[in-house]
A and B are shown apart, each in its own frame.
Chain A
Amino acid sequence: QVQLVESGGGLVKPGGSLRLSCAVSGVSFSDYYMSWVRQAPGKGLEWVSYISSSTGLTTYADSVKGRFTISGDNAKKSLYLQMNSLRVEDTAVYYCARDEGSEPLNCWGQGTLVTVSS
């Protein structure tokens, strides 16, 4: 059974940094296709970033481009989201999800809360 577990969320001041992790189990991680999706409190879903290990493609929402970096580690079976220059509007629950072209966002983690506040 595939399981995704996010960690690394917390309270950070505007302008600060955080690195989120997503540990993957129950499935091979040699080739991975993964996204980060976030949800601000009481709001809808916003796709943030995607990575394909097979093509090397990474892509970002305009709202985070140049500030966030997605990456993965096959050996550790983990996905990461490095978040720099954080803004108040980045406050959200961040979910990692498997994102295969044929079946998008087919498995989600439980989410980790990031709060950006002074």
Chain B
Amino acid sequence: EIVMTQSPATLSVSPGERATLSCRASQSVSSNLAWYQQKPGQAPRLLIYATSARATGIPARFSGSGSGTEFTLTISSLQSEDFAVYYCQQYIKWPRTFGQGTNVEL
């Protein structure tokens, strides 16, 4: 299976700062990469699919980039509601696999 590795495990940032999260795949997933946000006690929410396409209702401060095996999620100016855990996921092959998550904290 394709192993997804996220870094860092925890990212400490202040509101208004830029956050950059990384995701690496053990083999190429082309552009079949998604990002999800999960807040405590809530279900995950799709943020980004196809590496860089924002899901419906997702603010423009969220952007995705990369291809092949290296991907990045950037939050341009962190808002208080953005503190959460972020997961990347590949969907080019079965089984779908997730990274272990990056906790973006204050």
Contact = CB atoms under 8 A, between A and B. Distances in A.
Interface of A: 35, 37, 44-47, 50, 59-62, 95, 101-111
Given A50-B94, A109-B43, A104 B101 contact: no
Given A45-B36, A106-B49, 4 more contacts: A44-B98, A44-B100, A50-B96, A101-B91
B52 interface: no
B46 A105 contact: yes
**In the complex, which range does the number of interface residues on chain B fall in?**
20 to 34
Contacts of A110: 43
A60 B95 CA distance: 7
B46 A104 contact: yes
- Greatest chain A CB density within 10 A among B49, B99, B100 is at B49
